[in-house]
Amino acid sequence: MTDISIDGARLISRIQELGSLGRDGDGRLARLAASDADKLGRDLFVSWLRTAGLDVAVDRIGNIFGIWEPPGCEGKLPFMMGSHIDTVINAGIYDGCYGVLAALEVIEAMQDEGFAPSRPVVVAAFTNEEGVRFAPDMMGSLVCSGGMDTDTALATVGTDGALLGDELGRIGFAGPKEPGSLKPAAYVELHVEQGPVLEREGIDIGAVENLQGISWQKVTINGTANHAGTTPITMRSDAGYGAARVVTYLRERALASTSPMVATVGCIEFEPNAINVIPSRATLTIDLRHPVEDRLLEEERALSEFLGRLAADEGLSITTERLARSTPVVFDQRIVAVIEDAAKKRGLSYRRMTSGAGHDAQMMATIAPTAMIFVPSVDGISHNPAELTHDIDLIAGANLLLDVARILAKS
C-alpha cells in the first residue's frame, strides 16, 4: 500500500500560495475568521476543490466541504479529513492549512490512482478554529458536531463589533447547508505538532491518542488604589500583588505536578495602570490544561481554594468568570492503530502522544471515530511567523494520511 504517493511539490506550492494571502502592510499573516483576508483564502481553496472535480458544499456556519462521491458511494456516510485555514494575528503558514491541503492532495492521489472507495471522501475546512475575532474557538466544528446552536453562533459579536452571520454573508460564505448534515463515518486530522516533542526525540510521526482538556477563566481582583509612596506595604490592598501571586502559584503548581498539567496567564491588565498608584484592579486570564478530566477538575478546585485564601490574606475581592471549558478527548484506538501500522509500513518512526492544543478533531470526536496525525515542528514554534515544518516531513505526513484514508474509505 506504500507504492502510491501524493504530489509533494504541489502540496508545498499550495501551502506557500495560501500562506501569501491575507498579509497586512507590515507583511504579517492574519486571516481572521470571516474577514476580507479569510475570503481570499477561502476563494483560493474553493478554486482548488473545483479544479479537482469535487462538489463544493458550504453550511450556514461557513464550513467548506469538498466532496468526492464516485459511483456506488451514494447514501453512505463519508470518510472525512480536514482542519482549518483561518489564522491568528502574525501567524505562520502551516497551522491548520497543512491538514486541509494535504487532505485535498490525498483525494487527488486517490483519483489519479483510480482508487474506488466504498464511501464518499470529504475534505473539510472549518470556520473560526482560532477564535481570534469570534469566540469560542473551534466554532465551526463545534456547531457541526451539535455542541453549539447555529443561530447562537451566527449572532456572536466579534472583537470589532461585527456579527459573525453578517460577516459570513458579506464575504459570500453563508451557505445553505445545515451544519451537521454531513456526518462522517470517521474523521482524521493531520497537523503540525506545534510543540517540540517529535523534533527533539527525532521521531517522524505522532499518532495522537488523546487531547488535553482545557479550562479558561477570567479572574478579576479588586483592591484599593492608593499612593505608591505613602502607603505602607503592610497596609495595602494591592490588586497587582494579588495578580503576581496567582501567576507564581500556577507556575509552582505546574512544576510540582507529577502529571502533564500546564497553566498559563496569557492576558493581564491593571487599573488605573499608573506607575505611582497601587493597582485597584487586576484582570487576568488563566488557561489550565490536563489530559485527565478528574485531574483537571482537581486543578480547578485547587485554584478556587487558593483564590479564596489570597482574598482573605490580602483584603482583596476576587471573582472568576468561565470563558471556555472542554473535557479531555480520547481518540478512537482502532484508527490510532491504523496510523501506527501505516507509519511502520512507510518506514517512519512513530510514537503515541497527547495533543496539548485544541483542534477541530476534539469536536468531531463527539460524533464519529476520530484521530490525529502529527508531524514535527521545528523548535516547537507555532502561532508565530517562524513556524516551520520541513518539506520532507510535510510530504511524509501527507503520504501517511493517504495510506490511512485508503483503509478507512474502504471500511
- Asked if residue 346 lies in contact with residue 399, where contact means CB atoms within 8 angstroms, the answer is yes
Q: What is the CA radius of gyration of the chain?
A: 23
Strands (E), 237-363: 262-264, 268-271, 281-290, 317-326, 329-330, 350-355
Strands (E), 73-162: 79-83, 121-125
| Other residues' Cβ atoms within 10 Å of the Cβ of residue 326 | 21
> How many Cα atoms sit within 13 Å of 88 on the Cβ side?
12
Instruction: Extract the annotated binding site.
Output: 84, 95, 130, 191, 383
3-class DSSP state of 9: helix
- Asked if residue 45 lies in contact with residue 85, where contact means CB atoms within 8 angstroms, the answer is yes
Instruction: Extract the annotated binding site for Zn(2+).
Output: 84, 95, 130, 191, 383
- Asked if residue 84 lies in contact with residue 102, where contact means CB atoms within 8 angstroms, the answer is no
| Other residues' Cβ atoms within 10 Å of the Cβ of residue 126 | 32
- Asked if residue 208 lies in contact with residue 304, where contact means CB atoms within 8 angstroms, the answer is no
Instruction: Show the cell assigned to 396.
Output: 511524509
Instruction: Show the cell assigned to 44.
Output: 483560493
Q: What is the DSSP code string of 47-70?
A: HHHHHTT-EEEEBTT--EEEEE--
3-class DSSP state of 133: coil
Q: Cα 401 vs. chain centroid, distance in angstroms?
A: 19
